[in-house]
């Protein structure tokens, strides 16, 4: 029966294709396994382990002590401070990025591409180096400090404060807000705005009722892309915040290296990962699709 | 639909349209004087003068890219004229933004808000004008009934067919009771049957409510069947503004004659005030208003020509001898292509009057009445 024969062939072809796909993916799969899945498993295992008096991590006595400690005041204070800084960073990024993204997406295509490249240029140099550059700018005789005091906005000494951390985070993550916003604003059909204007909407109302709701996927995507890394940020708080007040990232590092409390560090990591996971899930369900 | 049309009438009678105008101004809905629109080097609209009267169904007709949409957008305020003045009901519009003009638009692409349902779309204009909730809701109900979209008020535009979207776009504009409704090829996306049905409904609606419609189309049949007057546009210029009948029977330019229906052109020159010389030397008495020696063309519609056996044409009609090239039988008519000395003529005979059927190669005489011709230039 020819039909059956064809079916068989189809099946074989499909199997061959999937085998081929697996082989092609193998290097990446091995990579992810070694550098992602196994370390992740270790972190999770650590979070249920016991810390011995000497600061070693004992893997044969499973318990949830490390999670119980998350409720302690010190830990909660760190978590809320991180949360607060991440929220502020996200809001500041949104306020700065929206007008910029709007401006870019209303330019001609050539100008648009140039400006998008401009937004991405910072990525061409190392994040660590750029953050150290901010430290120079924010120094008491740095350019930023001098400029702020020159225009009479206080003495401008913000290095090693939360403001410096937020400044650094906003600087670092602004492109992650601009790009998804641009993508969703650029996609809006401008005849809808004209339709709104024709139906007696002022420019502001047309924005509020048409442009803003239609750009919401970009707002959500950008907010998650900024919020998630800000919440777990380590480098920026370490360099610009001076670690005077612990944030999640540095607190976790402290647990592993200084306090020698592996299980607590691990359970905190699991919490941060959980927040990121939830953020990513929302991102894919809401905004990610439109990117 | 008819009951609803009556309802529209009542709603419209309640408004105060026209009260604040003097009689003279009230009769003019839209007036454009010397309006030009340039986009960089492109002259989209070239120095047009246009007066549209109150309650009129006015169509702008022309091929793609002739400036119809641009003209409409200038009336709506979505585009500002490069030069010229534009007034609506006697009020100079100047720089006035679209939201403060007494017009609404049905867009070529509908421009329905994808994130709002049908009711919210229709109610948008009312909401912007701060009509209170209850009244708004009543008006939305009325508009939904008007376009026969009952039961679909909570759907999003993405869940509607093209025809349904078109109805919502129409309702969304009409619910505001504009003084002038601008429609940009609103039926363009519909299939033939629905288009014809909507043509009739739109026309009825317009007659009953008496709002001025400015209707853009590139479909000459649509323009001819629906309009009180038509403005034919070509390359940014308004070539002729007339009733459909006048446009068809008395075109003033070659473009208009050719664009609307089928026609024949006989090349000629003006001999003296009311006599012209055809290319074959025949003289024809028609007044042209053009200077002697001007090159012109005479246009005659195929149905204004008749075919006779050679030398049997009646007196008093102009005659041209020729030979039948081809015959096409259409059921209700017969189309002959007759070659005369210097060109081919298309002749359309109603089947009922066709008499004896002629075949290719037959020697015939084609005749026409000078009164059924138009002189065109260009
Ligand atoms: N924003 C613009 N920028 C540059 N040129 C434009 C713009 N809008 C229209 N044009 C040009 O102006 C001319 C008239 O355009 P318009 O849209 O008015 O044509 P139209 O008669 O509506 O055509 P269609 O039947 O295809 O819709 C065209 O040559 C078009 O390319
Ligand atoms: Mg158009």
Output the average pLDDT for chain A: 88
pTM summary value? 0.80
Residues of B with a Cβ under 8 Å from any A Cβ are: 76-78, 97-100, 103-105, 107, 109, 111-115, 124-125, 128-129, 172, 176
pLDDT band with cut points at 50, 70 and 90 for residue B332: confident
CA distance A128 to A123: 11
Is the pLDDT at B205 greater than 80? The verdict is yes
Residues of chain A with pLDDT > 90, as a percent, come to 43
Handedness of CA B353, B356, B361, B365 (dihedral sign): negative
The highest-level CATH class for domain B262-376 is: mainly beta
Q: Is the CB of B68 under 6 A from ligand 1?
A: yes
Which residue's alpha carbon is at the smallest distance from atom 24 of ligand 1?
A: B64
Mean pLDDT to the nearest integer, B136-148: 91
**Smallest Cβ distance to B124: which of A191, A199, A202?**
A199
Q: A14 — contact with chain B (CB < 8 Å)?
A: no
**Which is the CATH superfamily of the domain at B2-102+178-249?**
P-loop containing nucleotide triphosphate hydrolases (3.40.50.300)
CATH code reported for the domain at A72-290: 1.10.3720.10
Helix, strand, coil % over all residues of chain B, rounded to 5: 30, 35, 35
Tokens of B266: 């006989």
Residue A41 CB contacts under 8 Å (≥ 6 apart), including other chains: none
Domain ranges of chain A: 72-290
Output the average pLDDT for chain B: 87
Question: pLDDT, tens digit, for every residue of A139-172?
Answer: 888 888 888 888 877 777 788 888 899 999 999 9
**Smallest Cβ distance to A198: which of B104, B112, B115?**
B104
Residues of chain A with pLDDT > 70, as a percent, come to 95
Helix, strand, coil % over all residues of chain A, rounded to 5: 80, 0, 20
Q: If 0-12 CB within 10 Å is exposed, 13-18 middle and 19+ buried, where does residue A159 land?
A: buried
Expressed in angstroms and rounded, the spacing between residue B70 Cα and the centre of ligand 1 is 6
Is the pLDDT at B126 greater than 90? The verdict is yes
Tokens of B64: 């793609």
| pLDDT score of A243 | 64
| Min Cα–Cα distance to chain A from B72, Å | 12
What interface predicted TM-score (ipTM) does this complex get? 0.80
What is the number of H-type helices and E-type strands within chain B?
A: 10, 20
Which residue's alpha carbon is at the smallest distance from atom 27 of ligand 1?
A: B64
Expressed in angstroms and rounded, the spacing between residue B184 Cα and the centre of ligand 2 is 7
CA distance A107 to B285: 61
Q: Which ligand 1 atom is the nearest neighbour of the CA of B37?
A: 12
Residue A196: its chain B contacts at CB < 8 A?
113, 124, 128
Residue B146 CB contacts under 8 Å (≥ 6 apart), including other chains: B4, B7, B8, B171, B174, B205
Q: If 0-12 CB within 10 Å is exposed, 13-18 middle and 19+ buried, where does residue A193 land?
A: buried
Residue A126 CB contacts under 8 Å (≥ 6 apart), including other chains: none
Lowest mean pLDDT among A104-108, B180-184, B208-212, B303-307: B208-212
Q: Crossing angle for the helix pair A248-257 and A73-105, nearest 10 degrees?
A: 140
Residues of chain B with pLDDT > 70, as a percent, come to 92
Q: Which ligand 1 atom is the nearest neighbour of the CA of B79?
A: 1
| pLDDT score of B4 | 45
Q: Is the CB of B70 under 6 A from ligand 1?
A: yes
A198–B78 C-beta distance less than 8 A: yes
Q: Which ligand 1 atom is the nearest neighbour of the CA of B71?
A: 18
Is the pLDDT at B13 greater than 50? The verdict is no
Mean pLDDT to the nearest integer, A60-71: 86
Lowest mean pLDDT among A89-103, A213-227, B311-325: B311-325
Lowest mean pLDDT among A2-11, B38-47, B139-148, B279-288: A2-11
Of how many residues is chain A composed? Answer: 291
**Smallest Cβ distance to A192: which of B103, B113, B125?**
B113
Domain ranges of chain B: 2-102+178-249, 262-376
B115–A196 C-beta distance less than 8 A: no
Strand A50-51 with A57-58, pairing: antiparallel
| pLDDT score of A4 | 54
Mean pLDDT to the nearest integer, A103-130: 92
Which residue's alpha carbon is at the smallest distance from atom 10 of ligand 1?
A: B44
Identify the residue with better confidence: A56 or A121.
A121
Which residue's alpha carbon is at the smallest distance from atom 12 of ligand 1?
A: B44
Residue B70: its chain A contacts at CB < 8 A?
none
Q: A21 — contact with chain B (CB < 8 Å)?
A: no
Residue B142 CB contacts under 8 Å (≥ 6 apart), including other chains: B7, B8, B11, B175
A214–B112 C-beta distance less than 8 A: no
* Residue at token pair 């408004």: B15
Q: For chain A, how big is the Rg over CA atoms in Å?
A: 25
Identify the residue with better confidence: B27 or B72.
B72
Strand B283-284 with B318-329, pairing: unpaired
pLDDT band with cut points at 50, 70 and 90 for residue A54: confident
A213–B105 C-beta distance less than 8 A: no
Ligand nearest to the Cα of B64, by number: 1
- B363 bridge partner residues: B323
Which of B38, B43, B44, B215 is the pocket-test mutation for ligand 1 (most atoms within 8 Å of CB)? B44
Is the pLDDT at B11 greater than 60? The verdict is no
Is the pLDDT at B85 greater than 70? The verdict is yes
Judged by DSSP in three states, A162 sits in: helix
In this structure, are residues A271 and A83 in contact, taking their beta carbons and an 8 Å threshold? no
């Amino acid at each position: 029966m020819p039909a059956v024969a064809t079916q068989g062939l189809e099946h074989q072809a499909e199997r061959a294709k999937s085998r081929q796909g697996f082989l092609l993916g193998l290097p990446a799969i091995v990579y992810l396994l070694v550098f992602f899945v196994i370390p992740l498993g270790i972190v999770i295992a650590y979070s249920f382990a016991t810390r011995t008096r000497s600061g070693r991590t004992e893997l044969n006595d499973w318990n949830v002590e490390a999670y119980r400690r998350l409720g302690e005041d010190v830990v909660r204070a760190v978590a809320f401070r991180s949360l607060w800084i991440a929220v502020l960073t996200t809001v500041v990024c949104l306020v700065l990025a929206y007008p910029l993204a709007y401006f870019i997406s209303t330019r001609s295509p050539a100008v648009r591409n140039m400006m998008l490249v401009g937004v991405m240029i910072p990525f061409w140099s190392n994040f660590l180096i750029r953050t150290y550059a901010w430290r120079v700018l924010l120094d008491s005789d740095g350019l930023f400090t001098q400029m702020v005091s020159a225009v009479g906005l206080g003495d401008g000494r913000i290095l090693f404060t939360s403001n410096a951390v937020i400044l650094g985070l906003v600087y670092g993550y602004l492109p992650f807000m601009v790009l998804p916003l641009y993508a969703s604003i650029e996609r809006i059909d401008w005849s809808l705005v004209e339709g709104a204007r024709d139906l007696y909407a002022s420019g502001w109302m047309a924005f509020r009722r048409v442009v803003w709701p239609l750009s919401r996927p970009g707002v959500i995507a950008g907010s998650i892309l900024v919020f998630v890394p800000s919440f777990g940020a380590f480098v920026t708080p370490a360099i610009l915040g001076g670690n005077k007040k612990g944030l999640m990232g540095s607190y976790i590092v402290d647990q592993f290296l200084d306090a020698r409390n592996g299980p607590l560090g691990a359970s905190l990591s699991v919490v941060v990962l959980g927040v990121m996971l939830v953020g990513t899930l929302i991102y894919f369900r809401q905004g990610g699709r439109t990117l | 639909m008819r009951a609803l049309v009556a309802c529209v009438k009542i709603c419209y009678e309640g408004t105060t349209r026209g009260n604040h105008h003097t009689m003279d101004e009230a009769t003019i809905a839209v007036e454009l004087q010397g309006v030009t629109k340039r986009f960089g080097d492109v002259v989209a609209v070239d120095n047009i003068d246009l007066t549209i009267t109150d309650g009129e169904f006015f169509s702008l007709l022309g091929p793609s890219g002739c400036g119809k949409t641009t003209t409409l957008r200038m009336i709506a305020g979505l585009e500002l004229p490069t030069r010229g003045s534009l007034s609506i009901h006697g009020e100079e519009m100047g720089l006035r933004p679209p939201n403060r003009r007494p017009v609404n638009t049905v867009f070529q692409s509908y421009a329905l808000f994808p994130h709002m349902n049908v009711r919210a779309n229709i109610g948008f204009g009312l909401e912007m004008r701060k009509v209170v909730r209850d009244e708004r809701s009543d008006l939305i109900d009325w508009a939904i009934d008007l376009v026969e979209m009952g039961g679909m008020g909570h759907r999003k535009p993405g869940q509607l067919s093209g025809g349904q979207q078109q109805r919502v776009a129409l309702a969304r504009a009409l619910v505001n009771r504009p003084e002038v409704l601008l429609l940009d090829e609103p039926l363009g996306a519909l299939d033939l049957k629905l288009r014809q049905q909507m043509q009739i409904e739109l026309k009825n609606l317009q007659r009953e409510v008496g709002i001025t419609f400015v209707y853009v189309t590139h479909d000459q049949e649509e323009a001819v069947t629906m309009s009180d007057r038509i403005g034919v546009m070509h390359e940014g210029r308004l070539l002729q503004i007339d009733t459909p009948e006048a446009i068809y029977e008395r075109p003033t330019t070659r473009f208009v004659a050719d664009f609307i229906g089928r026609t024949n052109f006989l090349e000629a020159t003006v001999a003296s005030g009311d006599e012209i010389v055809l290319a074959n030397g025949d003289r024809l008495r028609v007044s042209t208003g053009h200077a002697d020696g001007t090159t012109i063309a005479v246009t005659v519609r195929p149905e204004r020509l008749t075919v006779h056996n050679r030398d049997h044409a009646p007196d008093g009609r102009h005659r041209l001898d020729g030979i039948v090239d081809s015959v096409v039988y259409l059921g209700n008519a017969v189309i002959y292509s007759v070659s005369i000395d210097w060109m081919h003529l298309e002749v359309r005979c109603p089947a009922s009057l066709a008499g004896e059927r002629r075949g290719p190669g037959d020697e015939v005489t084609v005749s026409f009445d000078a009164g059924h011709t138009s002189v065109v230039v260009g």
